[in-house]
Amino acid sequence: MTGSHPPPAVSPTYDPTAKAFHWLTALLVIGMLCLGLWMVGLPISLQKAKVYSWHKWAGITVLALSVLRLVWRHVHRPPALPQTLAPLDRLLAPWGHAALYALLFAMPLTGWMMSSAAGIPVVWFGLWQLPDLVGKDEAWFKTLQTTHYFLSRALIAVIVLHVAAVIRHDVLRRDGVLRRMLPFAK
């Protein structure tokens, strides 16, 4: 046969480590956001302090995973986008991923800074006290608290857009984009 074959509609999948980073981060972020939304309404108590600690543990873990993800992504390039993607999708995909990564760094860092400004140490998993990122300062705390709040809403919005884009690709376009990141897809 001398004719050329059309490019496959589905690009190769991400490697297993990239998939593990993705899904572990997704679970932690969803849990962290749920804890964050719930904990602010709790009355001051030991339970509230415990929930805040869990939230911080998840946030610092997300930050650490995000660093590892970026290193992994730099060393192990992600698969190319499917050839069938529309030009607008090709333009928006990297911007969406960049927004997610930026927020995966900004949220934990502002939370850590907020704890530092409040004079409350961040003790990861109750074992390792992390250094303060800023000095204790009530005005700085309030600014960081507001920033953290708005970043959380931005993160929720970007996650909703990300999931909506995946659903659009999987249900409407059927172009295999979701399959690239499914844990057991080959």
Number of domains observed in the structure of the chain: 1
- Cβ contacts of residue 53 below 8 Å, gap of 6+? 123, 126
175 assigned to some structural domain: yes
Per-residue pLDDT of 135-158, as tens digits, reads 999 999 999 999 999 999 999 999
Spatial contact of 123 and 53, defined as CB atoms under 8 Å apart: yes
With CA atoms as reference, report the closest residue to 148 among 115, 176, 181.
115
Quick one: average pLDDT of 93-118?
97
Residue type, 174: R
168 assigned to some structural domain: yes
Per-residue pLDDT of 67-98, as tens digits, reads 999 999 999 999 888 888 889 988 999 999 99
Residue 38, domain CATH: 1.20.950
130 assigned to some structural domain: yes
Residue 129 parent element (H or E)? strand 128-129
For residue 176, pLDDT beyond 50: yes
Distance CA 15, CA 181 (A): 9
38 assigned to some structural domain: yes
Residue type, 123: V
5 assigned to some structural domain: no
The pLDDT-based confidence of 3 (bands split at 50, 70, 90) is low
96 assigned to some structural domain: yes
Per-residue pLDDT of 162-174, as tens digits, reads 999 999 988 888 8
Contacts 24+ apart (CB under 8 A), 156-164: 156/33, 158/96, 158/99, 158/100, 158/103, 159/29, 159/100, 161/96, 162/96, 162/100
* Chain mean pLDDT for the chain: 91
Does the predicted model carry a pTM greater than 0.85? yes
Spatial contact of 7 and 83, defined as CB atoms under 8 Å apart: yes
145 assigned to some structural domain: yes
Beta bridge partners of 124: 128
Distance CA 166, CA 82 (A): 13
Contacts 24+ apart (CB under 8 A), 166-175: 169/89, 173/84, 175/9, 175/10, 175/82, 175/84, 175/85
151 assigned to some structural domain: yes
The pLDDT-based confidence of 8 (bands split at 50, 70, 90) is very low
Per-residue pLDDT of 24-39, as tens digits, reads 999 999 999 999 999 9
Q: Which domain holds residue 121?
A: 16-180
Report the first-to-last Cα separation within the chain, whole angstroms. Answer: 28
